[in-house]
Structure 1
Amino acid sequence: MVTQIEIKGFDEFVKYTETIDDNGPPVLFYFSGSKLPDGNSWCPDCVVAEPMVKAFVSELNKNIIFVYVSVGDREYWKDRACPFRTDSRLKLMVIPTIIKWKGVQRLEGSQCGQRDLLQMLFEDDD
């Protein structure tokens, strides 16, 4: 039931958002630092949150689209002009961040690794 998609970078994110069907299933974006050769993100908070997020999403029995977005390397992310920070739809302050598209709900930083908060975010439509 959960469709998982991985995209890399801001341009791919923008292209993907242009294809979202407003009448389709809810779309949630998970923003994380890009992966290092060892398979983990350079972002320590993302490394902590990701196993919880992945486990939670894998247990969901809902029709949603879960999009993993790699925001790039540390230097790119830390730049104040990073488009993930400046885009009016996102205004990301920290990673990891999970955003419900076309909604105001979001989890930021350590909140992403808290099962009760994930449950509230993902079940909000029920």
Structure 2
Amino acid sequence: MTTVVEIKGFDEFAKYAENIPANDPLVLFYFSGSKLPNGSSWCPDCVEAEPIIKTFLTEVKKDVKFVYVDVGDREYWKDRACPFRTDSRTKLMVIPTLIKWKGVQRLEGSQCCNRELLQMLFEDDD
């Protein structure tokens, strides 16, 4: 079963990450640009990846906590001092990025649209 959590901004992300119970199921963080009034992200790569990931989540056969993280608007994201870029837990270089928490595995950019890579990320146990 997939549980979806939505987070906005770095402070909410940091607070959530600090309070993840050790016995939580697989936790995946998906970092995406904020939504425009039309409901789509300002980030074209995020717009492309999101439906593929959402469809994939409906097919997952194990307990997964999927945390959608809104990294903010384009100007905030593009700032080199953006905490999502500089924080040691995230070190984001591009969005979208999907990170397996407490592991080293991640998918970045167009990799988030690759079903085989998604399968490996969800099924590989460290």
Report the TM-score when normalising by structure 2: 0.97
SS in 2 for 1:39: coil
Q: Which runs of 5+ in 2 are unaligned?
A: none
Q: How does 1:90-105 map to 2 (within 5 A)?
A: 90-105=90-105
Residue 40 of structure 2 aligns with which residue?
40
Aligned residue number for residue 88 of structure 1: 88
Q: How far did residue 121 of structure 1 move?
A: 0.3
Per the TM alignment, residue 38 of structure 1 is displaced from its structure 2 partner at its CA by: 0.4
User: Which runs of structure 2 are paired with 1:24-39 in the superposition (5 Å)?
Assistant: 24-39=24-39
1:113 alignment partner AA: C
Structure 1 unaligned regions, length at least 5: none
Once the two structures are TM-superposed, the CA of residue 125 in structure 1 deviates from its matched residue by 1.9
Alignment partner, residue 110 of structure 1:
110
Q: CA deviation at 1:59?
A: 1.4
RMSD: 1.0
Moved more, 54-63 or 69-78: 54-63
Q: Does the alignment pair 1:60 with 2:60?
A: yes
1:73 aligns with 2:70: no
The amino acid of 2:33's aligned partner reads G
Residue 14 of structure 1: CA displacement?
Answer: 0.6
Question: 2:8: which partner in 1?
Answer: 8
- Secondary structure of the residue aligned to 2:4 is strand
Q: Following superposition, which runs of at least 4 residues in structure 1 exceed 2 angstroms of deviation?
A: none
AA aligned to 1:42 is: W
Displacement of 1:92 after TM fit?
Answer: 0.1
